[in-house]
Every structure is written in C-alpha cells, then in structure tokens.
Amino acid sequence: MENFEFVSPTHFVFGRDAEAQVGAKLADQGAAKVLLHYGGGSAERSGLLGRVRESLAAAGIKCVELGGVRPNPEITLVREGVALCKQHGIDWVLAVGGGSVVDSAKAIAVGARATCDVWQFFETKQQTNDVLPIAVVLTIPAAGSEASPNAVVSNDELGRKTGYGNDAQRPKLAFLNPELTFTLPPYQTAAGLTDMFCHLLERFFDDYGAVPVTDNLNLSLMKTIRAEAPRVLADPENYDARANIMWAGMLCHQGLAGVGRHEDWATHGLEHELSAFDTSITHGAGLAVMFPAWMEYVHGENPARFAFYGREVFGLVTSGDVEADALSAIDETRSFFASLGMPTTLAELGFDEARLEEAIADMLPTLAANKGNPFGSFKRLSMEDAAAIYRSAL
C-alpha cells in the first residue's frame, strides 16, 4: 500500500426531508448570508428551491441567488458568483443541484477570497486554504462532488475543460434525500450510474499491485451499482434502490475507494476533451464510450487484473486463458453500459470519421496541457496513443 493523506470533513444529513434541515444546520455553523447557487428550472418547478429558501429564512439566514449553471459548468458564471460573494459579504456557498452545480459552487468558493482571477487556480493548480465553506443539497447522484476535493470547470473562450483539486473545497455539509432523485429522467440516471462506476474503474486499474482493503471496498461498490442499476431504472421511486445509489455515488468519488493506490484518470482526461469539444455530450455518456476503448487499448499491461475484475464484478468463470478472460471482462463492461441505455461508440454521439479527425486535432493540445504528455498510470499514454483510442471508439 502506498503512503497517502486522506481528509473527509463532510457532515452528511441523509434521508427523507433532509433538505428541511438546511437552515438549522447552517445556522449552527454560524452562517449569516449564503450564495444560493443552482442550475435550471427543475429545482424551482419541483418546489425544492422554495423549501430551501423557507428553511434559510426560518433560521434567519439571508441569501443571494445565482442560477443558470449548465452541464459542464463554465467559468463566466463562476466569475459572476465570485463577484456576488465579494459584493454582498457572503460567508457560505450553498449548491442545490448535481455535480455541475457543486463544481461551480466550489470554484466560486475558491475565488471569493482570492485576489487573482479564479481561473488561475485551474490553470496552475495552486493550493489555498482561504476558501468559503460549501454546503450541498444534492439532486443528482453521479459525480460524488458532494464530498470530493475536486471540481471540473470549462473555459469556452480558451476551449479548455480542466479540474482543480483541493481538500479545502470539500463541502462541509451535504444534504442527501433520495426522494429528490425520483423524477430524474432515465438517461440522466443512467449517465450518473456510469459516472460512478467509472470513478471506481479509474482507481482499480493503475500501475500498483493489489491493495486488498481498498480493492475490496472498490469491488463491493461496483457490485452494488450493478445490482441496483436495473432496479432503479425499472422502478424510479424505489426508495431503497435510490438511497443505495445516492450513498454509493458519494463513496465512489470521496477518495476512500482509492487510498493506497496511484489511480489512473486517463479516461476521464480523454472524456473531458470530448465534452469540451461538444458541450452537449453528457459526461457519463462520454465515459461509457471511452472506458471500454481505453480498456481494450491498455489491457495487455496487466491482463490478470482485468480477469480478476471480471470474476469479482461480473461473475465470469475463469477459462484458463488470461487474455481471453480480460477481453471478456471488457465486453461485459461495455454490455453493462449498453444495458443502461448508454452509447458505446462515438458514432452514437454524432461523430463520423471526418468530424472525429477535426476533434482530435482540436483536443490533443488541450489534453496535453491538462493531463501532461505522457499521462495515465496503468499505461503511460502519448498523444499518439490518445488519438488511437479515440479512433478505436468510433
């Protein structure tokens, strides 16, 4: 097991009507004025924002609002949030939504006390402890951003999409009510399930050997997601299935499932470039295409690891041919994503050969800037390798 540092300061309030406790819990933390940050109209139409406002008002907490977060959140709105925090003396940032809203809130919280432009943190990865505290009312289990130290933000002007990690931006409070996820569209639910599963794959496949305590946590979460996915898609208001998925989504990206390992994150890098090139691509859908393509390209570095994964997660029977068993595990992974209704080729995401070549020319420079050259840990990948993986996914 590798040396590691692990910080997990998030206070979770989990269960039915969790959002009703927002005001009281924030008041207990000394909050006086919050930035209420959210996405589109669904949180308003559902009445969730109204309930949150009432809870804040009942606790005597004032709020300034900023909506409009899009999927693949963009730095322009973050800058607007930073300005509001400085103008109004905001002391907490409260995100109501999914991973994109939470990531945007984290970026705002980092920039609110900075003297430089907030994008500098994403460019340089410089660390700061001077970050506004963050609370989350989660509506979409997927990204795990409600407890993770990471945020991913796009800069449309520069054509960049990149991440920033800092334990100081882990949320201090997270309110998780599975009932808030009952009305999620099936595609969004499936994309979230895919994202969770891929967070585990990034940690399970690296250049380090076995770490049984971490590996078994990881494998258990994979099996839980596989078991609950068909239940939640068939019965969207199954509270127990939704609860298991919501809690698993947090555990998949909080960091515990990767302690003592190097982790890889090459595939997330490949996908981030895709959804920066075409912001209509849902992150989970992009991962469903890119992860099996990455697996097929790199599995020869350690086919036994893939065979082990196939046995433990999919119950595959050992054939005696490690290479064949590894390929079977990859096939099962692709089939699992397809069973959720996810795409499995770039063609399904609107690419043909000409558009893909245009995209590759656009993506490789920013991929190198964001991830380095080479990148990844399971297999060190060059930009030529990255191009080959993209082409294999068509």
pLDDT computed for residue 44 by the predictor: 87
Same domain, 82 and 222: no
Q: Which 8-state DSSP code applies to residue 140? A: S
Tell me how far apart the alpha carbons of residues 335 and 288 are, in angstroms, rounded to a whole number: 10
H/E stretch holding 110 = helix 99-111
Tell me the torsion sign for CA atoms 279, 285, 291, 297.
negative
Same domain, 175 and 223: no
With respect to residue 246, please indicate whether it lies within any of the assigned structural domains.
yes
Spatial CB neighbours of 361, under 8 Å, sequence gap ≥ 6: none
Range(s) of the domain holding residue 165: 11-181
Residues 292 and 210 in one domain: yes
> At which of 181, 201, 219 does a domain end?
181
Tell me whether residue 3 is in a domain: no
Residues 90 and 140 both lie in one domain: yes
d(CA 199, CA 298): 17
- 216 belongs to a structural domain: yes
pLDDT of the residue at 274: 94
Residues 168 and 122 in one domain: yes
Residues 287 and 193 in one domain: yes
- CATH number of the domain enclosing 213: 1.20.1090.10
On whether both 151 and 200 belong to a single domain, the answer is no
pTM of the model: 0.93
pLDDT of residue 72: 86
CATH number where 152 lies: 3.40.50.1970
Task: Please give the tally of structural domains in the chain.
Answer: 2
What six digits make up the tokens of 254? Answer: 């909080």
β-pairing, 160-165 vs 150-155, is antiparallel
- Do 197 and 68 lie in one domain? The reply is no
Looking at the fold, whether 70 and 134 belong to one and the same domain comes out as yes
Question: What is the chain's pLDDT, residue by residue, as a tens digit (394 residues)?
Answer: 888 888 889 999 999 999 999 999 999 999 999 999 999 888 888 899 999 999 999 999 999 999 999 988 999 999 999 999 999 999 999 999 999 999 999 999 999 999 999 999 999 999 999 999 999 999 999 989 999 999 999 999 988 888 999 999 999 999 999 999 999 999 999 999 999 999 999 999 999 989 999 999 999 999 999 999 999 999 999 999 999 999 999 999 999 999 999 999 999 999 999 998 998 999 999 999 999 999 999 999 999 999 999 999 999 999 989 999 999 999 999 999 999 999 999 999 999 999 999 999 999 999 999 999 999 999 999 999 999 999 999 9
Is 58 part of a structural domain of the chain?
yes
Domain boundary among 181, 200, 230: 181
Residue pointed to by tokens 């990034």: 202
Q: Which residue has the tokens 């992860």?
A: 291
d(CA 181, CA 364): 36
Q: Which two tokens stand for residue 323?
A: 């290479």
Place of tokens 């290479």: 323
Q: Are residues 146 and 216 in the same domain?
A: no
In-domain check, residue 217: yes
- pLDDT value at residue 84: 98
Final residue of a domain: which of 181, 199, 217? 181
Other Cβ atoms less than 10 A from the Cβ of 256: the count is 17
Same domain, 192 and 177: no
Query: Hey, what are 143's tokens?
Result: 């990204």
Q: Are 83 and 124 part of one and the same domain?
A: yes
Does a structural domain hold residue 2?
no
Asked, for residue 1, whether it belongs to a domain, the answer is: no
- Residue 55, exposed/middle/buried by CB under 10 A (0-12, 13-18, 19+)? buried
Q: Is residue 5 part of a domain?
A: no
Q: Supply the DSSP symbol for 61.
A: -
